[in-house]
Chains A and B, each alone.
Chain A
Amino acid sequence: MMPGGGSTKRGAPSGMAHLARLLQFSDSTLPIGSFAFSNGLESALQTGVVSNADSLLRYVELILRQTSRMDGIALLHAHRAALSGDYDGILEADQEIFCRRVGEEQQLMLTRVGKKFAELVLKISPSPVLERWLGDIKAGNTPGCYPVGQAIALAHMGADEREAFVMHQYGVASMILSAALRLMRIDHLDTQRILFTAQGRVEGDYSAVRELTLDEMASFAPVFDVLVAHHTTTHVRLFMN
């Protein structure tokens, strides 16, 4: 537990410092390198899959839905494993999400941001589990996927799994929208409106996946998958995926 937060009788943090830190770790300016990724948006724009604010909203909502049913499930399982002290469960979630990630750039996004996030959090506050996990990443024992690192850190801070899920989904949406500002003709007001709308789905997505097992991580977005492949063969590009 980090110092400075209040806590309830059962030890779960409550109070203002807890909320403030959740906001800090949700901030899109958190220096973990997510600014370098567009989650397929760069190719979506080049191919016309996204062309304006309406189609951008639709794209963001689709990615949120897909992410909740893949990374979101891994995050929930890693969070539960972290809370119950089941380190092997953390590694299992890490491996299971990584072996479902198709495309070298998608894999890079998942692991580079994951490692940077672990390093950042450890600079701020000691967490033995996160430290052990980072050691295993460096030793090549585990891939080091971002949602798993996020789950470990947030469990350590006393965030419950709903909070962790919301923060993860928010991070995905804000990553795409900050890329959109640099890639297409859209202003900050439109991206904020899109973000506000897209956040409305988070409860439904959580309810849809909270009881699913790691084996049930699933997706279906074939055109998106072709976009992922398209990006690796594009010559002029701003983003790493």
Chain B
Amino acid sequence: MSLHEQLGRLDAAREVSGFKSEPAQMRAAAPGKVGELRLGFSLRGGRSVLHDLYRVAPLLVQQALYFDEAMPELPICPIISVGGGILQGDRYKIDIKVEAGASAQVTTQSANRVHQMDANYASQHQTVTVESGAYLEYLPDFTILYRDSRFINQTDIVIAADATLIYGEMILAGRKHHHADERFGFDLLSMAVTARRPDGKKLFTEKLLIEKGDPTIDDPAVMKGFDAFANVLCLTPPDVATRIKERFGTNFPDEAPRAISGVSRLPNGAGLMLRAVGVESYDVRREVRRFWQIVREEARGRTLPQEFLWR
């Protein structure tokens, strides 16, 4: 499917229909505002390498680096946003494929900021393909939605039954210390993810939708007292999922918790979902790392290295 078909479907979504005005700056989806990234990983002589790289600014990947001390065979690609964040009218397409037996990690250089908007919206479509026996960690850093921003994202995953993918979405509900209206002050966050087998069988799908003025945001069962959350999918064979779930203890302390988290089973034997909610982004990140470490140990027999001091 062409770039325009996939992004065009997002343009047709009901929730962006109220945000069709053109920016006073460059028009929406103009050249320079359509970022594209295609990453292909495969085994070459027993080593996982980045064999395919295509990029269009404002998205950029330079090369794969091998700096994970606990998993030195892992090619790591940080995605760099040369634009300094997502702007109104931006359209992004990211396509990641890990071929049979290969491993890879894709991350981002820093938090992904969705800037304030007074016209249009930003959209992103991702395809993630993980072939037989392959392993992918796709864990972008936090997405921070500035007030009045609008962001719609669709992620389509195709994964073989014996492959493992950990894919995470971490969201901070605005620059909370910057302005009183920042917390959940954005106009729209729409994030959908669908996972299928290579034969097309649908395993799991989820859509998270937050529109401005949602009266339930401060419900105790939604986000009361918390400003950051994460949904982390771990698509993996059922026996691996069982081992991970047994090791990950639900975290729900009684007194003023900094973060809470728990792991649930996905339908159709697809794997697991970590939900984490916290006060600050680092509180949530700690829960995500706890899960990530168990996933890596159970799926690949490798642990996570110490987090860098500057993260």
How big is chain A's contact interface, by range?
Answer: 35 or more
Q: Confirm or deny: A77 has a beta carbon within 8 angstroms of a beta carbon on chain B.
A: no
Contact assessment for B209 and A218 in the assembled complex, using a CB-CB cutoff below 8 Å? yes
Give the B interface residue count (CB, 8 A).
39
Number of A-B contacts (CB under 8 A): 121
Q: Confirm or deny: B268 has a beta carbon within 8 angstroms of a beta carbon on chain A.
A: yes
Residues of B within 8 Å of A50, CB to CB, are 220
Q: Confirm or deny: A226 has a beta carbon within 8 angstroms of a beta carbon on chain B.
A: yes
Contact assessment for A223 and B265 in the assembled complex, using a CB-CB cutoff below 8 Å? no
Interface residues of A in 102-121 (CB under 8 A from B): 102-104, 106-107
Residue from the list A55, A96, A222, A233 in contact with B222, Cβ < 8 A: A222
Contact assessment for B220 and A222 in the assembled complex, using a CB-CB cutoff below 8 Å? no
Residue from the list A99, A224, A229, A232 in contact with B221, Cβ < 8 A: A224
Contact assessment for A102 and B250 in the assembled complex, using a CB-CB cutoff below 8 Å? no
Contact assessment for B229 and A222 in the assembled complex, using a CB-CB cutoff below 8 Å? yes
In the assembled complex, the CB of A107 is this many whole angstroms from the nearest CB of chain B, namely 6
Contact assessment for A220 and B210 in the assembled complex, using a CB-CB cutoff below 8 Å? yes
Contact assessment for B249 and A216 in the assembled complex, using a CB-CB cutoff below 8 Å? no
Contact assessment for B264 and A221 in the assembled complex, using a CB-CB cutoff below 8 Å? no
Offer 25 A-B interface pairs, CB within 8 angstroms, sorted by A: A43-B252, A58-B220, A59-B221, A62-B216, A95-B202, A98-B268, A99-B203, A99-B204, A100-B204, A101-B267, A102-B266, A104-B264, A107-B265, A215-B207, A219-B208, A220-B214, A220-B222, A221-B216, A222-B226, A223-B223, A225-B273, A226-B262, A227-B252, A229-B262, A229-B263
Q: Which residue of A lies closest to B210 (CB)?
A: A220
A215, B156: Cα distance in complex, Å: 13
A194, B304: Cα distance in complex, Å: 49
A45, B133: Cα distance in complex, Å: 42
Q: Confirm or deny: B224 has a beta carbon within 8 angstroms of a beta carbon on chain A.
A: yes
Q: Confirm or deny: B205 has a beta carbon within 8 angstroms of a beta carbon on chain A.
A: yes
Q: Which residue of B lies closest to A101 (CB)?
A: B267
Interface residues of B in 170-193 (CB under 8 A from A): 190
| Interface of A (DSSP majority class) | helix
Q: Which residue of B lies closest to A96 (CB)?
A: B205
A228, B207: Cα distance in complex, Å: 18
Q: Confirm or deny: B219 has a beta carbon within 8 angstroms of a beta carbon on chain A.
A: yes
A227, B264: Cα distance in complex, Å: 10
A40, B275: Cα distance in complex, Å: 15
Q: Which residue of B lies closest to A103 (CB)?
A: B264
Q: Confirm or deny: B261 has a beta carbon within 8 angstroms of a beta carbon on chain A.
A: yes
Q: Which residue of B lies closest to A59 (CB)?
A: B221
Q: Confirm or deny: A65 has a beta carbon within 8 angstroms of a beta carbon on chain B.
A: yes
Q: Confirm or deny: A48 has a beta carbon within 8 angstroms of a beta carbon on chain B.
A: yes
Residues of B within 8 Å of A24, CB to CB, are none
Q: Confirm or deny: B206 has a beta carbon within 8 angstroms of a beta carbon on chain A.
A: yes
Contact assessment for B220 and A233 in the assembled complex, using a CB-CB cutoff below 8 Å? no
Q: Which residue of B lies closest to A47 (CB)?
A: B252
A79, B216: Cα distance in complex, Å: 28
A217, B219: Cα distance in complex, Å: 20
Q: Confirm or deny: B106 has a beta carbon within 8 angstroms of a beta carbon on chain A.
A: no
Contact assessment for A225 and B223 in the assembled complex, using a CB-CB cutoff below 8 Å? no
Residues of A within 8 Å of B204, CB to CB, are 99-100
Contact assessment for A224 and B222 in the assembled complex, using a CB-CB cutoff below 8 Å? yes
Residues of B within 8 Å of A232, CB to CB, are 250, 264
